[in-house]
Amino acid sequence: MPTFALSYATAFYGTDPDRLVTAARLAEECGFEALYVPEHVALYPGAKIGEWEVPADLEFLDPLDVLTFVAAHTERLLLGTAVLLLPYHNPVTLAKRLATIDVLSRGRMRLLGIGVGGLPGEAAAVGVDFRTRGRRADEAIEVMRRLWADEASGATFEGEFFHLDRVFSYPKPLAGAGLPIHVGGSSEAAARRAGRVGDGWFPGGALNDAERQTLWDLVRATAEKAGRDPDSIAYMRTGSLEMSTEYAERLAAQGVTRVVVGAPAGEADEQRAQLVEFAERFGLGDR
């Protein structure tokens, strides 16, 4: 059986800090492993994700600030992003922020999901050429890993977008190997990136089971080609609070290691009832 995490999008659940804390504490109390939050840096009229036109006034709080806040009000929940739009961040400052959260949370910043973004206007708003976002993400992953490494000579990197010459960045993440990076996305490029350099893969989009399996096979094949162990790559999928144990077992049979479900709606008592019922259904308190 996979582990389970909760996803909390302020664009849909609101920005009330009390509601956020209540959901996070209930998730921890009920035995959920982690809490994920998404990111959008900037929206604009006409922006579309698939066929859905994204309202420009949705309130996406900064995910790393949200996770810092959650960490201060919980004790065990792992902290995750699904997904952080990596090409829209400077990897040097991002590496510092992520390591800081990891240190302050005593090592709980373990589920860094990254994506490349799908809205051209969002890229333009932060001065990034939309066509280069994949290459930028690849370089950013390497830059952060070099900054997190404990090298006596510092981090050196020469790329198309980023240049480091014996640069040091402290603190380091508490786990010596740096932070795991999980690649999000439902494209072949995302699957290949996950297999080549990712610690996990989190597909999104409106994929059917056959399409998703084809991409997962591509993740594993790419890992093998790169000389990596495909069994070391975590596989995340979305689910719902209404999902059955049989469905979770089918996901596990496909190699899924973690299922992420949306936070419950309603007031605190309703949220508690939904999370407790889910936890009892899957025996989360027994793990």
pLDDT at 16 over 60: yes
The percent of residues in the chain predicted with pLDDT above 70, rounded, is 99
The mean-pLDDT minimum among 93-102, 202-211, 229-238 falls in: 202-211
In this structure, are residues 20 and 9 in contact, taking their beta carbons and an 8 Å threshold?
A: no
| pLDDT above 80 (res 107) | yes
Give the pLDDT confidence of 254-274 residue by residue, as tens digits.
999 999 999 998 888 999 999
Please write the tens of the pLDDT for every residue from 24-70: 999 999 999 999 999 999 999 999 998 899 999 999 999 999 999 99
Q: By C-alpha distance, which of 222, 217, 215 is closest to 197?
A: 222
- Measure the CA–CA gap between 181 and 138, rounded to whole angstroms: 11
Instruction: Give phi and psi for 196, each to the nearest 5.
Output: -80, -45
Q: What does the pLDDT read at residue 176?
A: 85
What's the CA angle centered on 235, arms 113 and 103, to 5 degrees? Answer: 40
The type of residue at 219 is V
The answer to whether 283 touches 38, Cβ cutoff 8 Å, is no
Classify 86 in phi/psi space as left (phi over 0), alpha (psi -120 to 50) or beta.
Answer: alpha
Q: State both tokens at 179.
A: 């932070």
| Mean pLDDT of all residues belonging to the chain | 96
Is the pLDDT assigned to residue 287 strictly greater than 70? no
* Structure confidence at residue 286 (pLDDT): 62
Average pLDDT over every residue of 102-111: 98
Per-position DSSP letters for 101-115, written without gaps between them: HHHHTTS---EEEEE
Half-sphere exposure of 226 (CA within 13 A, CB side): 17
Percentage above 90 pLDDT, the chain:
94
C-alpha span between 188 and 108 (Å, rounded): 30
Q: Which band of pLDDT confidence, cut at 50, 70 and 90, is reported for residue 195?
A: very high
The pLDDT of residue 285:
75
Residues 105-123 have a mean pLDDT of 98
